[in-house]
Structures are given as C-alpha cells and as structure tokens.
Amino acid sequence: MAELDTSVQALLQGKNFAFISTVNADGSPHVAPTWVDIDGNYVLINTGLGTVKQTNLKRDPRVTIAITEQTNPYNLVIIRGYVVEQTTGPKATAQLDRLAKKYMGLEEFPDRQLASRQATLKIKPERVFTRKT
C-alpha cells in the first residue's frame, strides 16, 4: 500500500473534485467526476448503486483517481489502486451526508431517496504521483 503524505491528505480533505477512471467490460476506460474523502490511508468515493462505475468496480476493482486543487489546478495527485470494500446502507448514506456538508455546506444530502441507494467505495492506494507548482 502506498502512503498518502500530508500534502496528498490535504488535497483529498479539501473541497476538490476527483475524476475516477474504471474499466468497462469491453476494456475501454470510463471516467467520472466525483466527490472524494479519506479514511486514514484509504480514499473514499461515494457512488449510486448500479451506476457504470459501481458496476465496473464489482467486476474489476482497479481504479485511477486524479485530483486537482480547486484554487491551483496545477497542483495535482494521481492515485492508482483498487477497491477493497463497497459499503451500502446507512453507512454509505452517512458518508454521502459528510460529503454533502463538505461540498455543498448542507447537513445532509438533499435527495434522501437517492441517498438511500448509494455505495461507499474504499480504495487502497498502490501508487501515488504528485505535482506541485
């Protein structure tokens, strides 16, 4: 497992968007923008059940995540790793609520029906590339 140093952790904890790449069944890439967080040395992404990325990751857990700093997009992190756990139910809803507070300033994600159909992806980083300007 690659360690997430303090500068990488700060980028993941900030209000920065991530782009997650997964592998489609035909081998082509699928990329989607998403909210991101961390739990210790793991990266957390929340996604809807049955979405392309969630479906892809059930079949092939490999991911690449690119995160740029909102105020300086030339500061970036690219993380290669794989999903070690997909959590659903109240824990995934609670994670989405934490992300809604971070990104929207709301106490909970506003669409409660959508919030109840989420999965939290726990990603183990294998390689981390950073660039700071």
Architecture of the domain spanning 6-89+120-131: Roll (2.30)
What tens digit of pLDDT does each residue of 22-76 get? Answer: 999 999 999 999 999 999 999 999 999 999 999 999 999 999 999 999 999 899 9
Backbone angle region of 27, left / alpha / beta, with phi > 0 → left and psi within -120 to 50 → alpha: left
What tens digit of pLDDT does each residue of 63-100 get? Answer: 999 999 999 989 999 999 999 999 999 999 999 999 99
112: pLDDT strictly greater than 80: no
10: pLDDT strictly greater than 90: yes
Q: In whole angstroms, what is the distance from residue 44 CA to residue 95 CA?
A: 9
DSSP β-bridge partners for residue 130:
77
The pLDDT value given to residue 133: 77
Residue 99 · residue 110 · CB < 8 Å: no
Structural domain spans, the chain = 6-89+120-131
Mean pLDDT of 106-129: 89
Query: What pTM did the predictor assign?
Result: 0.92
Q: In whole angstroms, what is the distance from residue 71 CA to residue 86 CA?
A: 31
Mean pLDDT of 3-17: 93
